Structure 1
Amino acid sequence: MNRVMNLKASGTSALLRLVLPLLILNAVLTFGNDWPGIGVVLEPRLSVELLAGAVLLLLWTRWRGAVSLHVLSMLAGLVLSLVLLRYVEVTVPALLGRPVNLYWDGRHGWQVLRMATMDMPVWQLTGSGLLVLAGGALLFVLLRLQIVALSEGFRRCATSRGLVLALIAPVLFWFAQPWVGRDTRSLFAEPVSVAVYRAGTQLRDALAPGRSAALLGPSPVFSGNLNALGGVDVILIFSEAYGAVTFDDAEIAVSLQPSRQLLAQALSDSGRGVVSARVLSPTFGGASWLAHSALLSGIDTRDPGSYEVLLTTDRPTLVSHFAGHGYRTVALMPGLQRPWPEGAYYGFSRYADADAIGYPGPAFGYWRIPDQAALALLHAQELAQPVSGRSPRFVVFPTVSSHAPFRPVPPYVGDWDAVQGVSAYSPEMLDKALAEPVSWSDPLPAYLQSMRYSFEWLSRYMRERAASGSLIIVIGDHQPIAAVSGRGASWEVPVHVFSADAALLARFGRAGFRAGLGEDAALLGSMPDLTRILLSVFNDSSDESSDDRGDYSGGAPSPIQR
């Protein structure tokens, strides 16, 4: 009798000793992101991977005896890898608003790290690295202790059958989700292994063009003419991180209202009108090149594998279309600081990266060249001469000064000629900009500052430099990172068309654009849909009514919609 009671007490004690290591291991595999920061919060969910692994460990200890410390250390290393991968999996979407992509994020991850740490002193960078290594070592020791305790507890536990059932039942329920018809996301954390498999599948497709070729749909028809433009310069500006959140978020919209009024007044004073719309970007929070290629080619690049395949083809683009009608095509790419041979796909007449732009001034952080300086150099080199004495230009200009982490923000310089030189920015200007704090957890103040700068140089350019006949299209490449946009934000971006040609703006109006700077802009579809709209608007084959011009003046923006 006493022996039976002792065995039961021993089994109960062993069972209780399993609870703590299981809870600790479950916690490190199910934590979530402490949005909008980069910290973590514990979440009351179950880890399917832990439960399945615990069942296997239990069966092994019951059938084969004690597990060697070497094997248990290897298991601790595996769990540590899962913990680190989970941190990446929950943190990157919280900051960027999109899941991790091994192909693109792996290729450019070192640049993001360099950008985030370039202003850190060496001692601080070294100390942070050592702290991370020490934290990883301590976490490994903690995990190893829990796995050893779990293995020993399983070996001593006398109720193995009931324990196996208790551990495996939730795993079977998780696998049965498609058939039980219940949403179990509140009960289970998404397994890290599933995310790794998904990322691996994306990587496989990106590295195997044969698998991805089917992703490319038909290209738009580029057979039309450009006669509706009348041979004017066309400047396509991809405004970095300019998203629909600047309208949809009341706080951001109110903060940027004076800047939009400045732009509206500049358009009015220069005799231009404006129409606006919205489109869906193929990316969110980063990977701007997917937006550029989607609009220039008219191909859906939401899947990065499609983009990789696209660059290996000879499909037509807006660049080739304009070149075929006598335009000199120019790519002004201040954000590119290394060779980009893939860019040959577009076939620009001139390709100006950060080194070829000719900017002699000081570097404002990682992105070096202020947007105003890049535009001033473009104007002097390509646009200053009247179009009557040269071929018209088609310019593609992705901006950089509003790129995450939105610091440092260059100051606006009133002298557009001086901004092209060495001394346009004083040491005091540079020091002040570099002294502004960078925050990935609270980037909204910096984002607003960078967007005000964008509106200012654009407004001043429209008023003081831009040729009266030029057509200027400004489109956001993607929404800002989720730390600014918020969780669950749309992928919509604004599109603005500036022109003094009322008939041309009327053609945009018939395509769905609305007068003004976008407070009530309509969603016209995806960026490839916009490509087709542009081709249709630029082509003069349709019978247009000369009286249907509408009122597309810039005027003052209407009240912000809350």
Structure 2
Amino acid sequence: MSETLAESTSPEAEATVGDGPPRSRPSLRARLGRLREQHPVAARNIRWTVNVLAALLVLGALLLPNKVTHLHAREFVRIPVEAILGAAVALVLPRRPRLAVAVVSGVALGVMTIMNLLDMGFNDYLGRPFNPILDWELLNDAQSYISDSMGSAVAVGAAVGAGVLVLLLLSLMTLAMVRLSGLLILDRRTATRGTLVAATVWVTCSALGLQVFGTPLASEHTASLTAIQAKQVVQTVRDEAAFEKVAKVDAFGNTPGSQLVPDLRGKDMIFTFIESYGRSAVEDKGIAPGVDKTLATSTAALAKAGFHAKSGWLTSATYGGSSWLGHSTTLTGLWIDNQQRYRTVMASNHLSLTRAFKKTGDWDTVGVMPGVQKGWPEQQYYDLDKVYNAFQLGYQGPKFSWSTMPDQYALEAYQRQVHSKKRDKPLMSEIILTSSHQPWAPIPKMVPWDKLGDGSIFKPIQKAGNKASDIIADSTRSKQEYGKSISYSVTSLTQWLERYGSADTVLVFLGDHQPIARVSGENASRDVPISIVAKDPKVLDKIASWNWTDGLKPAHNAPVWKMSSFRDRFLTAYGSTPHPSKG
């Protein structure tokens, strides 16, 4: 009885009281229809707004350039042939195939938009478009860079924002394409006439070469970019197989250790890469004055200490980033301009300069890598006896944005832990200096060498420095701070050499790549300076035929070589005998 009473007074039971069957809730479509009837003007305005936004979204995606420097209003007033072809297809297809094509086209256009945005970032930072085969793993490096430069919260926010943007682009582009395809068939006759008119105008503009502010009115932008991406994929696949064969051929692959660099026996060899030290640092009017003054001052100071130098140019295999490609190209004599080539070489037996010194049996080999914060399996390929990473140099001071420690400290730690130790053999060292890594804020300052300690002295310097967020988006300030960072790195290295170098020290130092386009310029070269410094005049006499410039600053017209040519020229200059291996 109580159960029956409870049922009769429940909300569901009350809903059925009265004459006739229970009333169901109206559907969403019915409710929207009722709202349209009640507010016809507002409904019409919303409908037109949605239609216009859908059209603008699709047209914007079809005309979106893949370089930040091309983002101009004139790019978006052109006539995209892809829109005309899409309208023609939608008009001839039945409902279901039309809907399927609209969905697929929307997803494809969303993907293409994402690729264009990636191209923008890669062109701006690395001077090349995004490679859909090789570059996905670099996105993790980008997130790590943001985390190290601007904090983990910003990095997480950027990752979440990127994910949301991808989902929005794919979904909104698909919905827009479906809506526009539906609009076309509401009045097929008018839509067909409009499509024919648009096609005629496009053909006319294309044939006559009509332009708006220097940009062709007739656009086939998306089709061209799609073709370029497809070609890039094919070339990447072919390059992988071809380069594997190239990497097996080595002019010095079978050279016995006794015939490698005999003219450098007994010398302490130091190969040092300075991050982002490019030609722009020496020749760009907005950067060069401070750097050139540092180079002149350092050249004079080294000469007073008995050291002399010769300098030239190398054209780097990379630009704006991916420093490891520049390092490996210099040391292997192979043109390593992408990640696949890098992996291929690291898995090979191709002779690197570091391995050449190790192969002689007359040098101990060591790497100082303050930028390495995790496992570094490349140590095996480069044949380094010991590698000191960011956690093995005893640093207790603050990070300077991406750079884990100031270059001055890293060099002093190298001196304390490695270079000053007594040993039976001379030392061959590879040192990577990181203080000139973007975003160039905050930048360390030189402190007395005998007060470096554990690096705590840099805390107030780091605290008083610029914030990365204040520099990273400002081209003018980025140039200024970049120049200061290069001056700091060069000063740290040359002062270390003055302080600790001996009659048997030979220093080879160079840049790994130019800084990003925002600093070096849109059409900057890929050249980087390289210098060889020694006290023993015989060392520099061996490269007299290279016609390099005396001092640390290479002349504008000094020889320019591909970075991949340096290994063989260096080995030959210092007496190595070629014994080729052919795979």
- TM bucket normalised to smaller: 0.7 to 0.9
Structure 2 counterpart of 1:96: 126
Structure 2 counterpart of 1:299: 334
Structure 1 counterpart of 2:381: 345
Structure 2 counterpart of 1:14: none
Alignment of 1:218-233 (within 5 A): 218-221=249-252, 223=255, 224-233=259-268
Give the match's secondary structure for 2:457. coil
Q: 2:500 & 2:217 partners in 1: Cα distance?
A: 55
**Quick check: 1:421 aligned with 2:421?**
no
**Quick check: 1:433 aligned with 2:465?**
yes
Q: CA RMSD in A?
A: 3.8
Asked if the contact 2:273/2:510 (under 8 Å) is kept, the reply is yes
Asked if the contact 2:67/2:119 (under 8 Å) is kept, the reply is no
Asked if the contact 1:52/1:171 (under 8 Å) is kept, the reply is no
Q: 1:521 & 1:471 partners in 2: Cα distance?
A: 25
Q: 2:409 & 2:133 partners in 1: Cα distance?
A: 33
Structure 2 unaligned blocks of 5 or more: 1-49, 210-214, 578-583
Structure 2 counterpart of 1:27: 60
Which deviations, in whole Å up to 9, do the C-alpha atoms of 1:20-71 show, x marking residues without a partner?
A: 96665233332347757xx9434437999x6346524533433414777787
The farther-off stretch of 374-383 and 138-147 is: 138-147
Q: 2:101 & 2:283 partners in 1: Cα distance?
A: 54
Greater radius of gyration (CA) = 2
Q: 2:226 & 2:249 partners in 1: Cα distance?
A: 35
Q: 2:260 & 2:121 partners in 1: Cα distance?
A: 47
1:188/1:58 CA distance change after superposition, 3 Å: closer
Alignment of 1:281-300 (within 5 A): 281-300=316-335
Give the match's secondary structure for 2:61. helix
**Quick check: 1:355 aligned with 2:391?**
yes
**Quick check: 1:62 aligned with 2:92?**
yes
Q: 1:390 & 1:168 partners in 2: Cα distance?
A: 82
Shift of residue 365, structure 1, vs aligned partner: 2.6
Q: 2:356 & 2:266 partners in 1: Cα distance?
A: 14
Asked if the contact 2:205/2:218 (under 8 Å) is kept, the reply is no
Alignment of 1:85-484 (within 5 A): 85-102=115-132, 104-118=134-148, 120=150, 143=173, 146-148=176-178, 150-155=180-185, 156-158=187-189, 160=192, 163=195, 166-167=198-199, 187-189=219-221, 191-198=224-231, 200-201=233-234, 204=237, 210=241, 212-216=243-247, 218-221=249-252, 223=255, 224-325=259-360, 326-385=362-421, 390-416=424-450, 418-425=451-458, 427-433=459-465, 435=467, 437-442=470-475, 443-484=478-519
Give the match's secondary structure for 2:271. strand
Q: 1:450 & 1:26 partners in 2: Cα distance?
A: 43
Structure 2 counterpart of 1:6: none
The farther-off stretch of 183-192 and 451-460 is: 183-192
Q: Which residue type is aligned with residue 338 of structure 1?
A: K
Which deviations, in whole Å up to 9, do the C-alpha atoms of 1:45-102 show, x marking residues without a partner?
A: 7999x63465245334334147777874564343233222211113320232122234
Asked if the contact 2:409/2:455 (under 8 Å) is kept, the reply is no
Give the match's secondary structure for 1:457. helix
**Quick check: 1:78 aligned with 2:113?**
no
Give the match's secondary structure for 1:251. coil
Asked if the contact 1:278/1:495 (under 8 Å) is kept, the reply is yes
Give the match's secondary structure for 1:532. helix
Asked if the contact 1:241/1:478 (under 8 Å) is kept, the reply is yes
Asked if the contact 2:333/2:568 (under 8 Å) is kept, the reply is yes
Asked if the contact 1:101/1:202 (under 8 Å) is kept, the reply is no
Asked if the contact 2:407/2:434 (under 8 Å) is kept, the reply is yes
Structure 1 counterpart of 2:535: 500
Which deviations, in whole Å up to 9, do the C-alpha atoms of 1:161-192 show, x marking residues without a partner?
A: 78358549969999xx9xxxxx9899543644
Asked if the contact 1:365/1:434 (under 8 Å) is kept, the reply is no
Q: 2:143 & 2:75 partners in 1: Cα distance?
A: 32
Which deviations, in whole Å up to 9, do the C-alpha atoms of 1:108-153 show, x marking residues without a partner?
A: 3222223224465777667766766776677667646653553244
1:533 to 527, 545, 569: 569
Which deviations, in whole Å up to 9, do the C-alpha atoms of 1:382-403 show, x marking residues without a partner?
A: 22247xx531111111221111
Report % sequence identity: 22
Q: 1:474 & 1:108 partners in 2: Cα distance?
A: 26
Give the match's secondary structure for 1:395. strand
Q: Which residue type is aligned with residue 360 of structure 1?
A: Q
Which deviations, in whole Å up to 9, do the C-alpha atoms of 1:299-356 show, x marking residues without a partner?
A: 2223543322112211222122211321111111111211122431121111222233
Q: 1:247 & 1:355 partners in 2: Cα distance?
A: 33
1:81/1:479 CA distance change after superposition, 3 Å: same
The farther-off stretch of 405-414 and 287-296 is: 405-414
Q: 2:364 & 2:381 partners in 1: Cα distance?
A: 16
Asked if the contact 1:377/1:420 (under 8 Å) is kept, the reply is no
Which deviations, in whole Å up to 9, do the C-alpha atoms of 1:349-393 show, x marking residues without a partner?
A: 11222233343333333331222211111112222247xx53111
Q: How many residue pairs are counted as aligned between the two chains? A: 511
Asked if the contact 2:146/2:155 (under 8 Å) is kept, the reply is no
Give the match's secondary structure for 1:474. strand
Give the match's secondary structure for 1:495. strand
TM-score where L is the length of structure 2: 0.76
Asked if the contact 2:266/2:504 (under 8 Å) is kept, the reply is no
Shift of residue 103, structure 1, vs aligned partner: 5.2
Shift of residue 526, structure 1, vs aligned partner: 1.3
Q: Which residue type is aligned with residue 464 of structure 2?
A: K
Q: 1:33 & 1:361 partners in 2: Cα distance?
A: 41
Asked if the contact 1:284/1:480 (under 8 Å) is kept, the reply is yes
